[in-house]
Amino acid sequence: MNRFAELLDRLVLTPSRNGKLTLLTDYFRAVEDPDRGLALAAITGDLHIAAVKPAMLRMLVTERMDPVLFGYSYDYVGDLAETVSLVWPQTPGNLPNREPTLGEVVARLQAASRSDGPKVLAGLLDSAGTSARFAIIKLVTGGLRIGVSARLAKQALADFGKVEVAEIEELWHGLSPPYTALFAWLEGKAEKPRNTALALFRPVMLSNPLSEGDLEKLDPADYAAEWKWDGIRVQAVAEGGIRRLYSRTGDDVSGAFPDLADAMHFSATLDGELLVGDPRQATGTFSDLQQRLNRKTVTPKMQQQYPAFMRCYDLLQVGGEDLRALSFRERRGRLEAFVGTLDPSRFDISPFVDFTDWQTLEELRRVPPHPIIEGVMLKRWDSAYVAGRPKGPWFKWKRDPHTVDAVLMYAQRGHGKRSSFYSDYTFGVWTGAEGEEELVPVGKAYFGFTDAELKQIDKYVRDNTIERFGPVRSVRADRDNGLVLEVAFEGLNRSTRHKSGVAMRFPRISRLRWDKPANEADRIETLQALLDR
Amino acid sequence: MRESAVSYNRLPAAELYPILGIMRPSDLLHPRPEGLYCPPGDFFIDPVRPVNRALITHGHSDHARSGHRSVLATRQTLDIMGLRYGENFAGATQAAQLGETIALNGISVSFHPAGHVLGSAQIAVEHQGTRIVASGDYKRQRDATCAPFEPIQCDVFITEATFGLPVFRHPPDTEEIARLLKSAAQFPERSHLVGAYALGKAQRVMRLLRDAGYDRPLYIHGALAKLSEYYQSQGIDLGQLEPATVESGGKDDFTGAIVVGPPSAFADRWARRFPDPISCFASGWMRIRQRAKQGGVELPLIISDHADWDELTATIRETGAEEIWVTHGREEALVRWCELEGIAARPLHLVGYEDEGD
C-alpha cells in the first residue's frame, strides 16, 4: 500500500509529463501483480469500490478523537481526506507486523457490504500508516485527482513494454483489472492477450499540421480536401448488440451521448466528428456543443435541445470486414453507401471541398462556411487507415488563429526547468467607460515565447512587481504602464466562471509588443464581437 | 508537590502565594514587549529587542538578535551568533555549560539540551522552590547534529507550538531521506535542489544523507558555507561540500547532483544554473500537501527541527509540570489538549517569533 501511496503523492506534485511517465513506469517495474494492475485501474478510473460519504468519514474520526481538536485540524488543512489520514489515532501496539497490500485493501473493500463498509474502512485505517491511510481514503471517496489521464497511464504502459500506445488502446476495452495478462505480455513473459470482446476501440489515425513549404512538394491531384470540424473526434462501434462511442484516445463516452448511441443500428466501426444539431438543417456552434460536454448524465431536455449527431469521415470495418488496409478512395466509396442507410438525423458525411490547385483551397480555407469549421483536412486518395500520426498521408491546415493585444496583469512562477522564471501569464483587456477604464483578465498562457523572450518578460515582471501572493506576482498595469502581449487563440467560449464572460481556447503568446502603449491594447468589446459571430 | 497532587490546578491558589512565602510563577517570568522577562533576576529570555541582559536558547535569528549589552548562552550558540552578526554582536558574552547552575541576582538559572539545532538549550529558572522551564524550540526525534532533548521536571513548562495540531506527525527522517535518494536514482539526468534553513536543518539533511551512505559531494549555497564549516569544526562530519557556483562547473556538472540551499534561493535566478531541477523542501510544513503544492515543491521532505504533536504532548507529560504556557504557533489546540488532560494551560502571547520558521 505504501508504494501506491507514495506514487500518488509523487504524481500529484510532479508537473512534467515525462516525470510522471518515469514515476509510472518505475512503479510498474517495481511492483508485482495484482497490486500494479489495481493501481493502474485506480488511476484510469476502472476500479469499482462502493463509495463512502464524507459525512461517514467525519463520523468515524470524531468517534475516535476530540471533535474540537478535529475541527481545528480540519480548518487548518482544508481537505477532509487528508485531515482524517493525518489525525487518525495510531495505537502502536495495535499495528500488524506489516501494512496491508493494495490488493488486500481492495479485496476487503470490495467484499464489504453496505452496512459493514464503515467498519471495514476503520479497520483498514487502523492497520495503515499515514500515507497509506490517505490513499485508502482516496480510493473510497472516489476521484484520485492526481493529474494523470487514462491516456497518460496507457502511454506509461507502452513505455514500460516498449510497444506503441495504439496497441494498448486497441486491447484496453477487452481487459479488466488487475490486467495480469497485459503486464505479462509487456514484460515479454507471455503472448499478446487475444481480444475476444465485442465493439472494441480501433486506434485512430491522426494528421500532421501543414508546415511552411509542405504544399510546394505536394500534388493537389493526390489529395482530397474536407472541412475540419471542431467538434469531438469519435469512433462509433457497434457489434453483436454492443454499441460504443469512443473518444479518440479510446475512452468510452457512450454514457454522455445516449441519443447518438441509440441510433447505432449497424455492425461497423465509423470514424467521425461528434457535433450537435440536425445535420439536415443546421450544425450547432461550439458553444452549443459545450452544453453536452463533461456531463455524467444528460437530461431528455438537453438531448432534445442539443441533439448529438456524427459527421462521418471514414469507415474502418463493416460486418466483420476490416477496411483499414484499403485506400482512402475505396473506403470513402464504401462510407458513402453505408451512411446512406443510416438515420439521416444522426449521421451524415463530411463533404469534400472542391479544388484544383492550392491557391483555390487557400482562399476557401480563409472563409469557411460555418463557424465550427477550423480549417481543412488533406487526405491522400491512396492512404490506408494507419494508427497514430504518420507523416505524409493526412494533413490539417488550420484557419489562422485570432489574435488580441492584451496587457500582462499577473505572472506566476513555473515548475521544473522554469521554477526560477515567472512563466505563466494572466493578461487582460480594457473595459469600462472612457476615463474609467480598467483591465479585466481574459486568459492565461504559458507558452508561445522563446527562451530569450522568457528571460525578458521575467525581468520585466521582477522590475514591475506591485504585490506578491505566494508564487504569483501582480504586475504594474495601468493606462500608462504595462507590457502588451499579442495573444493568439483558436476560439472563444462564453463563460460564466470568468468575470470577463469569455474563455479563450488554446491561448498562447504570439508576440511581445514592447512598442505598444498599454492604453492601446484591445477592449473587451473586440472579444465580445467574436463570440456573436 | 509534583507527584502527589490530584486536583485540576495543582499549584496553590493565587492568594496563598504571599502567605506561603513562595513566588507566583508569573512573578518569576512573564511576557513583556521585549520578550519573556524575569523581574527578580532582571533578565530576558530570547528578547526580540535589544536589552540589558539576555539569555538565549538558540541561534535562530528570531530568538537570537544582536545588540544586547550582555548575552548568556551556550558556547555554540554564542559562536553561531558571532558567525551571523559579527564578533561584536553583544557588549559582553558569557558561555553557559549545560547542566551547570548560574546565579543571577539570586535566581538560579541552568541550561539543558533542547535537541533543536547545534547549541540549542532549554533554560530552567528557579527561585524559592518554583521552577519554570523555557524550552525555546525543541524536538524529540534523534538528530546527529545536536545533543538530544532532556526532559526537566518543573512546575511550569513553557512549550512552543509551531506544530501544535494533531495533523502534524513527522515521519522518521531516515524514510524521508530514502525518498530523496530514490528520486535522485530515478531522475539521474536532473538535479535535486533541497530547500533547508541555513542553521540546523541544512546540516541535518546533509548528515542524514551521509548516514544513508550518500558519498558524492554535496553542493551548497553560499548562505550555508560558514555555518556548515562551523558544524564540521564541532565534529559533525558532513562529508565533502562544494560551493554551488557557476565557477565550480557548468550546467552539466550539476547533473544528478544534490544541492542544498535556503528555500528562498530556489525561486531566485540563482537556481537557473541547475539542469531541470526537482525542487525539494525539508520542512515539517511539508506534511500538508497543499503547502507543497502552493510552493511548487515537487518532492516534499517532512523533516522538522520542531516537536510534532505526539512529541509535544509526550513532553508535557514527562516534565510533570502542573501548568503549561504555550507560545508561538497553534496555541489553541495544545491548550485544548491540556484541558482534556486536566493540566492547567494558557497561551503566552509573545510577539516577534516566526511560527513559519522550520
CA A97 – CA A5 distance, rounded (Å): 19
- Residue with the bigger pLDDT between A251 and A59: it is A59
Q: What is the length of chain A? A: 533
Query: Is B357 part of the contact surface with chain A (CB cutoff 8 Å)?
Result: no
Amino acid at A487: V
CA A444 – CA A487 distance, rounded (Å): 10
Q: What are phi and psi of B146, to 5 degrees?
A: -155, 165
**CB–CB contact B267 A65 (8 Å):** no
Q: Which CATH architecture has domain A402-531?
A: Beta Barrel (2.40)
**CB–CB contact B267 A470 (8 Å):** no
- pLDDT in the model for residue A196: 76
**CB–CB contact A69 B336 (8 Å):** yes
Assign A101 a pLDDT band (cuts: 50, 70, 90): very high
- pLDDT in the model for residue B9: 43
CA B290 – CA B286 distance, rounded (Å): 9
B278: nearest CA in chain A? A416
Query: Is B165 part of the contact surface with chain A (CB cutoff 8 Å)?
Result: yes
**CB–CB contact B299 A15 (8 Å):** no
Q: What is the length of chain B? A: 358
Tell me which residue of A162, A205, A214, A167 sits closest to A186, measured CA to CA: A162
Q: Is A290 helix (H, G, I), strand (E, B) or coil?
A: helix
Amino acid at A342: L
Query: Is B1 part of the contact surface with chain A (CB cutoff 8 Å)?
Result: no
Average pLDDT over all residues of chain A:
91
Chain A residues with CB-CB distance to B292 below 8 A = 13
- pLDDT in the model for residue B250: 65
A83: nearest CA in chain B? B167
Lowest mean pLDDT among B102-111, B145-154, B230-239, B326-335: B326-335
CA A271 – CA A233 distance, rounded (Å): 8
**CB–CB contact A73 B167 (8 Å):** yes
Does residue B240 surpass a pLDDT of 90?
A: yes
Cβ atoms within 10 Å of B128's Cβ, excluding its own:
14
- CB contact residues (below 8 A), chain A span 428-487, against chain B: 470-471
Nearest by CB to residue B296, choosing from A82, A83, A419, is A419
CA B38 – CA B353 distance, rounded (Å): 19
Shortest alpha-carbon distance between residue B185 and chain A (Å): 11
CA B318 – CA B312 distance, rounded (Å): 10
- pLDDT in the model for residue B263: 87
**CB–CB contact A471 B270 (8 Å):** no
Buried b (16+ CB within 10 A) or exposed e, A236-274: bbbbeeebbbbbbbbbebbebbbbbbebbebbbbbbbbb
CB A224 within 8 A of CB A243: no
**B16-167+306-347 in CATH: which number?**
3.60.15.10
* B304 CB burial (10 A radius; 0-12, 13-18, 19+): buried
Nearest by CB to residue B169, choosing from A9, A79, A86, is A86
- A470 to each of A413, A460, B192, B294, how far by Cα in Å? 9, 18, 22, 7
Report the run of H or E that residue A275 belongs to, with start and end.
strand A268-278
**CB–CB contact A83 B167 (8 Å):** yes
Assign B21 a pLDDT band (cuts: 50, 70, 90): low
Q: Is A33 helix (H, G, I), strand (E, B) or coil?
A: coil
**Half-sphere CA count of A513, side-chain side, radius 13 A:** 22
**CB–CB contact B295 A470 (8 Å):** yes
CB A234 within 8 A of CB A273: yes
Query: Is B167 part of the contact surface with chain A (CB cutoff 8 Å)?
Result: yes
- pLDDT in the model for residue A494: 84
For A424-436, what is each residue's pLDDT tens digit?
A: 999 999 999 988 9
**CB–CB contact A419 B267 (8 Å):** yes
Does residue B8 surpass a pLDDT of 50?
A: no
Chain B residues with CB-CB distance to A15 below 8 A = 298
Query: Is B277 part of the contact surface with chain A (CB cutoff 8 Å)?
Result: yes
B176: nearest CA in chain A? A6
Question: What's the DSSP call for residue A31?
Answer: S
**CB–CB contact A14 B298 (8 Å):** yes
Chain B residues with CB-CB distance to A72 below 8 A = 165, 330, 332-333, 336
Percent of chain A with pLDDT over 70: 98
For A260-272, what is each residue's pLDDT tens digit?
A: 999 999 999 999 9
- pLDDT in the model for residue B14: 58
Does residue A232 surpass a pLDDT of 50?
A: yes
A208-398 belongs to CATH 3.30.470.30: yes
CB A244 within 8 A of CB A254: yes
Q: Is A226 helix (H, G, I), strand (E, B) or coil?
A: strand
Shortest alpha-carbon distance between residue B251 and chain A (Å): 12
For A291-301, what is each residue's pLDDT tens digit?
A: 888 777 789 99
Assign B3 a pLDDT band (cuts: 50, 70, 90): very low
Query: Is A76 part of the contact surface with chain B (CB cutoff 8 Å)?
Result: yes
- Residue with the bigger pLDDT between A165 and B249: it is A165
ipTM value for the complex: 0.90
Q: Is A441 helix (H, G, I), strand (E, B) or coil?
A: strand
Tell me which residue of A400, A410, A432 sits closest to A485, measured CA to CA: A410
**CB–CB contact B169 A470 (8 Å):** no
- CB contact residues (below 8 A), chain A span 261-320, against chain B: none
CA B37 – CA B160 distance, rounded (Å): 17
Shortest alpha-carbon distance between residue A20 and chain B (Å): 11
**CB–CB contact B336 A82 (8 Å):** no
Tell me which residue of A63, A87, A82, A81 sits closest to B333, measured CA to CA: A87
Q: Which residues are CB-contacts of A468 (< 8 A; sequence separation ≥ 6)?
A: A474
Does residue B288 surpass a pLDDT of 60?
A: yes
Query: Is B7 part of the contact surface with chain A (CB cutoff 8 Å)?
Result: no
Cβ atoms within 10 Å of B252's Cβ, excluding its own:
8
Extents of the domains making up chain B: 16-167+306-347, 173-301
Does residue A352 surpass a pLDDT of 80?
A: yes
CB B71 within 8 A of CB B57: no
Q: Is A280 helix (H, G, I), strand (E, B) or coil?
A: coil
Shortest alpha-carbon distance between residue A83 and chain B (Å): 7
Name which of A72, A137, A446, A461 to mutate to probe chain B: the one with the most chain B Cβ atoms within 10 A of its Cβ.
Answer: A72
- Average pLDDT for residues A104-120, to the nearest whole number? 90
Q: What torsion, rounded to 10 degrees, do the Cα atoms A500, A502, A505, A508 define? A: -30
Q: What is the 3-state secondary structure (H, E, C) of chain B?
A: CCCCCCCCCCCCCCCHHHHHCCCCHHHHCEEECCEEEECCCCEEECCCCCCCEEECCCCCCCCCCCCEEEEEEEHHHHHHHHHHHCCCCEEEEEEECECCEEEECCEEEEEEECCCCCCCEEEEEEECCEEEEECCCCCCCCCCCCCCCCCCCCCEEEEEECCCCCCCCCCCHHHHHHHHHHHHHHCCCCCEEEECCCCCHHHHHHHHHHHCCCCCCEEECHHHHHHHHHHHHCCCCCCCEEECCHHHCCHHHHCCCEEEECHHHHHCHHHHHCCCCEEEEECHHHHCHHHHHHCCCCEEECCCCCCCHHHHHHHHHHHCCCEEEEEEECHHHHHHHHHHHCCEEEECCCCCCCCCCC
Backbone dihedral region of A304: left (phi > 0), alpha (psi from -120 to 50 degrees) or beta? alpha
Q: Which residues are CB-contacts of A143 (< 8 A; sequence separation ≥ 6)?
A: none
Query: Is A104 part of the contact surface with chain B (CB cutoff 8 Å)?
Result: no
**B173-301 in CATH: which number?**
3.40.50
Residue B132 CA to its chain's centroid (Å): 19
The alpha carbon dihedral of A301, A302, A307, A310 has a sign of negative
- pLDDT in the model for residue A228: 95
Lowest mean pLDDT among A4-18, A281-295, A388-402, B295-309: A281-295
**CB–CB contact B267 A471 (8 Å):** yes
The alpha carbon dihedral of B93, B98, B101, B105 has a sign of positive
Chain B residues with CB-CB distance to A416 below 8 A = 276-278, 298
Assign A94 a pLDDT band (cuts: 50, 70, 90): low
Q: Which residues are CB-contacts of B24 (< 8 A; sequence separation ≥ 6)?
A: B14, B17, B130
- pLDDT in the model for residue A173: 86
Query: Is B240 part of the contact surface with chain A (CB cutoff 8 Å)?
Result: no
Does residue A533 surpass a pLDDT of 70?
A: no
Residue owning grid cell 439536415:
A280
Extents of the domains making up chain A: 208-398, 402-531
**CB–CB contact A470 B287 (8 Å):** no
- pLDDT in the model for residue B1: 38
Chain A residues with CB-CB distance to B267 below 8 A = 413, 419-420, 471
Residue owning grid cell 521554477:
A419
Which segments of A35-142 does DSSP mark as H helices, in order?
Answer: 35-44, 54-62, 67-77, 80-87, 102-111, 117-127, 130-141
- pLDDT in the model for residue A397: 93
Q: Count how many pairs of residues, chain A against chain B, have C-beta atoms within 8 Å.
A: 96
- pLDDT in the model for residue A532: 59
CA A169 – CA A252 distance, rounded (Å): 11
- pLDDT in the model for residue B329: 83
Name which of A2, A61, A69 to mutate to probe chain B: the one with the most chain B Cβ atoms within 10 A of its Cβ.
Answer: A69
CB A185 within 8 A of CB A173: no
Does residue A445 surpass a pLDDT of 60?
A: yes
- pLDDT in the model for residue B19: 64
Q: Which of A24-38, A45-59, A96-110, A135-149 has the highest mean pLDDT?
A: A24-38
Give A485's strand partners. Answer: A406, A512
- CB contact residues (below 8 A), chain B span 315-344, against chain A: 330, 332-333, 336-337, 340
Question: What's the DSSP call for residue A494?
Answer: E
- pLDDT in the model for residue A413: 87
**CB–CB contact A420 B267 (8 Å):** yes
Shortest alpha-carbon distance between residue A184 and chain B (Å): 23
**CB–CB contact B186 A26 (8 Å):** yes
Shortest alpha-carbon distance between residue B156 and chain A (Å): 23
CA A178 – CA A521 distance, rounded (Å): 55
Amino acid at A304: Q
- Average pLDDT for residues A55-75, to the nearest whole number? 94
Backbone dihedral region of A61: left (phi > 0), alpha (psi from -120 to 50 degrees) or beta? alpha
For A450-464, what is each residue's pLDDT tens digit?
A: 989 999 999 999 999
Does residue A214 surpass a pLDDT of 60?
A: yes
CA A94 – CA A126 distance, rounded (Å): 8
Does residue A115 surpass a pLDDT of 80?
A: yes
